[in-house]
Amino acid sequence: MAVEIIAIGEALVEVMRTRIDDPLDKPSEFVGPFPSGAPAIFADQAARLGHRVGFIGAVGDDDFGTCLLDRLAADGLDVTLCPRVRDRATGVAFVTYFSDGNRRFLYHIAHAAAGQMPNLNADYFADVKFLHICGSSLSVSEEMRGKCYQAVELTTAAGGRVSFDPNLRPELLGGEEALRRICGPVVEASHVVLPSGAEAELLTGVSGADEACRALLGQGPEVVALKRGAEGCTVITKDQKIDDDAFQVEAVDPTGAGDCFDAGFVVGLLEGLPLEDVGKLANACGALGATRKGPMEGAFSRGVVDDFMNTGRAPA
C-alpha cells in the first residue's frame, strides 16, 4: 500500500522484571516478550490513529520476530521493508523499574537483526507526508544511521516532512559534541522536533528549556514540541508558544509513552489541526501510553483516544 507516514529504525521485543526494585544482575522473574523499539511504537500508534503507516527495520527469523511482525501487521502497518534476517536474532531489551522512577535497560540491538537495514528505494517514499526518526536509531549502528540519513533525503525529495524525537543516548554517540554532529543533519531537515528540556539543551548547548527550544528553531525546524512529562507539553514556533496541560492517569509503564505522544503530534500536524489541538492529541496519546504494561500496549485506537480527550477517563 502507499504509505503517508514512515518510521525507520530499531524493532525489538522487551522483557521486563515483574517487581519494582528488582535488579538485572540477580536471578528473578521476567514477563514478556512485548513488541517494542521507539520507532516501531510510534508507527503502531500512528496506524491505530487511522493513517497509512510503513515501518522500515528488520527482525530475526525467530519467534520474537514473529511476535513483532504479527503485532504490526495486525494493527495495519505495511512491513514490506521490515524483513526477517536469517543469521541474526531479533533485538531484545531487558528492563527493570525502580521506586524512584528510574529504569535500567540492558540492550541486545547493534549485533542483532535490529541493527540491520533493508535497501531503500524512492518508490516507497513517493507518497510520504511524514518520516519519523528517533535519536536512538542514530546510535544503533553506522549502517542504520546512514539509512536514516538516506530516508531523510528521499522524504524531502518527495515533498514530505521530517519529525525527530532526539531520544538521546549521549554515551552511545561519543559525547555531546559527537551527538550534535550526528543529529545535526536530521535536526536541520526536520519540520518538527520533539525533545525533553534536557534533550533540547544537549542538542543546542544552550541552558534553559525555552531558550534551547528557540535555538532549535534557528537550526531549521518550524515547530518544537517540548515534552514536560506530567505537566504536558509546550508547542513553540517563531510566532507562538502554546502550553497544553497533561491528562491525568495512573501510570503503569512509562516506556513508549513518549513515542505515542510523537505519533499523536505528527498525526495532528498531518491532519492540519490547530496547534493547540495537536498538542492535546499528543498529550492524550502519551498519557494513555503509560496506562498499560508493555511499551506498545498503550497505543489505542482513534475512537478510544477521542473518548479519553472528551471524558478524561482512561479505558479500564
Tens-digit pLDDT profile for the chain (316 aa)? 799 999 999 999 999 999 999 999 999 999 999 999 999 999 999 999 999 999 999 999 999 999 999 999 999 999 999 999 999 999 999 999 898 878 888 888 878 998 889 999 999 999 999 999 999 999 888 899 999 999 999 999 999 999 999 987 655 555 677 888 999 999 999 999 999 999 999 999 999 999 999 999 999 999 999 999 889 999 999 999 999 999 999 988 889 999 999 999 999 999 999 999 999 999 999 999 999 999 999 999 999 999 999 998 989 8
Residue 107 lies in a domain: yes
Residue 309 lies in a domain: no
| Separation between Cα atoms, residue 232 and residue 8, nearest integer Å | 26
Residue 302 lies in a domain: no
Q: All 3 cell numbers of residue 223? A: 515547530
* pLDDT attached to residue 48: 98
Q: Considering the entire predicted model, what is its pTM?
A: 0.95
Q: All 3 cell numbers of residue 136? A: 536512538
Split into its structural domains, the chain has a count of 1
Q: What are the pLDDT digits (tens) for 110-127?
A: 789 988 899 999 999 999
Q: All 3 cell numbers of residue 22? A: 528488582
- Residue 107 in contact with residue 77, Cβ under 8 Å? no
Gyration radius (Cα) of the chain, Å: 18
Task: Give me the half-sphere count of Cα atoms (radius 13 Å) on the Cβ side of residue 104.
Answer: 13
* pLDDT attached to residue 251: 87
Active centre residues (catalytic): 259
Residue 313 lies in a domain: no
Provide the residue range defining the domain that includes 95: 5-295
Q: The domain spanning residue 156 has which CATH number? A: 3.40.1190.20
Residue 310 lies in a domain: no
Residue 161 lies in a domain: yes
* pLDDT attached to residue 253: 87
Tell me how crowded residue 302 is: count the other CB atoms within 10 A of its CB. 15
Residue 174 lies in a domain: yes
| Separation between Cα atoms, residue 29 and residue 12, nearest integer Å | 20
Residue 305 lies in a domain: no
* pLDDT attached to residue 169: 63
